[in-house]
């Protein structure tokens, strides 16, 4: 098969000034230079890039980003360089540590009736933002849907995250996960925990698939893995990724218990136990007793109404009549009450961290 090469062209006014910069400072290889008597074009390669530096080329100088495991040992530790031809060169860490922004606490209510726009995102999926301020970048909550079912044009990929939840609220979806066997299916009420950097691929979905996706932090990187093929040959259900285990929790196997708030019951999804309390996820329904005012000390407490109706009352706030499709965030220390729940109320509650204290009080 004939090899095909691609080059990026950069301009210069005097090629001889650029030769030592690209070969010595950046450590690239000189592959071609011509004409011999008065060179005006040189081709360099290195760091996964092929560059054609051409005298009087019409393009602007541009920017090259070099990612390395040892930025302090590259180019004498300089992080920003400028080539003689004007090209800007940025030196960055290849795998920078994940930074979790400090949470900017706020009381958030996001109603489906507000008609927030649906945005076309990755793999053609539709996204609706449930927490517009993203708590200062601490988390993102998305309502995701695939209107037309069938195969999903996805690739094997992974996310550089601290925590990620996929909770199905309508339809079904099948996904392949690294070291978890063949396709796994989510139906309404089921959820996946995708540990940091686990490889996976969305394979097929029903018509009108809808899921809630929670990601920490809000801005995180998705990388494509071009080398891994799924399913992988090994089945390792107890494998850990950054001290988190993969979770496939099924609603059909629910065990309902008293909830942290009177008047409700819940089913735990085992996520707190499998993430070492990085996060906890519970499904909440109407129980015995009367709802009361309460406050919590959880850093992030997110709720999404999956069915029914409830009134969210907050100290110093007008009450919010919430229905299916509405979402909220309650900041720590704020007194609130989930009052007047309908008999069919069902709420998805996501807490970060998974273990926290709730202080309740009777009227």
Q: Look at residue 99 and tell me if it is in a domain.
A: no
Residue 247 pairs in a beta bridge with: 193
Q: Per the domain annotation, does 104 fall within a domain? A: no
**Which residue in this structure is represented by tokens 């999956």?**
306
Residue 121's pLDDT is what?
Answer: 72
On whether residue 109 sits in a domain, the answer given is: no
Q: Is 32 among the domain residues?
A: yes
Instruction: Convert the pLDDT of each residue in 123-179 to its tens digit.
Output: 667 889 999 999 999 999 999 998 888 998 899 999 999 999 999 999 999 999 999
Q: Which of 192, 222, 247 is the last residue of a domain?
A: 247
Predicted local confidence at residue 116, as pLDDT: 73
Which token pair is 212?
């809630």
Question: Hey, which residues does 356 pair with through a beta bridge?
Answer: none
For 285-305, what is the mean pLDDT? 96
- pLDDT attached to residue 97: 86
Q: How confident is the model at residue 318 (pLDDT cuts 50, 70, 90)?
A: very high
Short-list 107, 112, 125, CA closest to 173: 125
Per-residue pLDDT, 123: 63
Quick one: 257 and 338 in the same domain?
Answer: yes
**Is residue 240 a part of any domain in this protein?**
yes
- Domain total in the chain: 3
Residue 164 CB coordination number (10 Å): 20
Position 1 scores a pLDDT of 65
Strands (E), 147-263: 150-151, 157-160, 163-170, 172-177, 184-187, 191-193, 200-205, 209-216, 221-224, 240-241, 244-245, 247-249, 256-258
| Mean pLDDT, range 3-19, rounded to an integer | 94
Tokens of 305: 């109404």
Instruction: Read off the pLDDT of residues 184-196 as tens digits, 9 standing for 90 and up.
Output: 999 999 999 999 9
CA of residue 12 relative to chain centroid, distance: 40
- Reported as a pLDDT band with limits 50, 70 and 90, residue 206 is very high
Instruction: Tell which residue, 323, 328, 319, has the closest CA to residue 342.
Output: 323
- The pLDDT assigned to 30 comes to 97
Is 98 part of any domain? no
Percentage of the chain modeled with pLDDT above 90: 87
Query: Is it the case that residue 267 has pLDDT exceeding 80?
Result: yes
Instruction: Judge if 238 and 323 occupy the same domain.
Output: no
The DSSP output letter for 42 is E
Residue 259 CA to residue 267 CA, distance in Å, equals: 8
In this structure, are residues 52 and 40 in contact, taking their beta carbons and an 8 Å threshold?
no
Q: Residue 54: pLDDT above 80? A: yes
Flag whether pLDDT at 363 surpasses 70. no
Does 280 lie in the same domain as 210?
Answer: no
Q: Report how far apart, in Å, the C-alpha atoms of 272 and of each of 7, 276, 281, 315 are.
A: 49, 6, 7, 29
* 8 Å CB contact between 127 and 118: yes
Encoding tokens for residue 20? 């030592």
174 is a domain residue: yes
The average confidence (pLDDT) of the chain is 94
* Residue 239 is assigned to a structural domain of this protein: yes
- pTM of whole model > 0.85? yes
The pLDDT of residue 339 is 97
Same structural domain, 124 and 154? yes
Half-sphere exposure of 265 (CA within 13 A, CB side): 10
The residues near 176 (Cβ < 8 Å, ≥ 6 apart) are 182, 183, 184, 200, 201, 203, 230, 231
**How far is residue 355's CA from residue 353's CA, in Å, rounded to a whole number?**
6
- Pair (136, 230) in one structural domain: yes
Q: Is the peptide bond before 35 cis (omega within 30 degrees of 0)?
A: yes
Residue 150 CB neighbours (<10 A): 10
Residue 196 sits in a domain whose CATH number is 2.60.120.10
Containing domain of residue 191, as a range? Answer: 115-247
Final residue belonging to a domain, choices 247, 271, 291: 247
Q: pLDDT tier at 362 (50, 70, 90 boundaries)? A: low
Residues 241 and 275 grouped into a single domain: no
Q: Given this model, what pLDDT does residue 279 score? A: 97
Distances (CA, A) of 206 to 120, 121, 170, 221, 286: 18, 18, 9, 27, 29
For residues 142 and 164, state if they share a domain: yes
Whether residue 153 is found in the same domain as residue 240: yes
3-state secondary structure of 211: strand
Last residue of a domain, one of 93, 127, 142: 93
- pLDDT for the residue 68: 95
What is the reported pLDDT for 175?
97
């Amino acid at each position: 098969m004939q090899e095909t090469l691609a080059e990026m062209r950069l301009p210069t006014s005097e090629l001889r000034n650029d030769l030592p910069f690209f070969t010595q400072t950046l450590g690239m290889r000189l592959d071609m230079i011509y004409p011999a008597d008065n060179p005006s074009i040189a081709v360099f390669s290195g760091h996964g890039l092929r560059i054609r530096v051409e005298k009087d080329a019409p393009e602007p100088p541009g920017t090259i980003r070099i990612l390395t495991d040892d930025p302090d040992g590259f180019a004498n530790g300089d992080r920003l360089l400028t080539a003689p031809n004007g090209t800007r060169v940025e030196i960055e860490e290849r795998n920078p540590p994940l930074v979790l922004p400090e949470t900017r606490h706020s009381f958030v209510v996001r109603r489906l009736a507000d008609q927030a726009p649906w945005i076309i995102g990755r793999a053609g999926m539709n996204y609706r933002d449930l927490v517009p301020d993203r708590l200062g970048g601490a988390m993102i909550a998305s309502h995701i849907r695939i209107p037309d079912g069938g195969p999903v044009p996805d690739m094997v990929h992974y996310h550089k995250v601290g925590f990620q939840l996929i909770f199905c609220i309508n339809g079904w979806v099948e996904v392949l996960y690294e070291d978890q066997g063949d396709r796994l299916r989510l139906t309404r009420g089921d959820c996946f925990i995708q540990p940091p950097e686990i490889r996976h691929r969305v394979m097929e979905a029903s018509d009108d698939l809808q899921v809630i996706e929670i990601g920490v932090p809000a801005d995180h990187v998705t990388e494509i893995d071009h080398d891994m093929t799924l399913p992988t040959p090994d089945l390792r259900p107890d494998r850990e990724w950054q001290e988190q285990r993969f979770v496939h929790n099924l609603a059909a196997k629910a065990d309902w218990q008293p909830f942290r708030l009177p008047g409700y019951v819940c089913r735990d999804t085992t996520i707190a136990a499998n993430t070492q309390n990085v996060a906890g996820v519970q499904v909440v329904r109407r129980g015995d007793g009367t709802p009361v005012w309460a406050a919590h000390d959880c850093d992030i407490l997110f709720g999404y109404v999956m069915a029914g109706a409830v009134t969210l009352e907050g100290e110093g706030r007008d009450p919010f009549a919430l229905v299916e499709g509405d979402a909220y965030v309650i900041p720590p220390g704020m007194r609130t009450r989930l009052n007047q729940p309908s008999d069919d109320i069902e709420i998805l509650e996501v807490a970060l961290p998974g273990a926290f204290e709730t202080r309740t009080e009777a009227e």
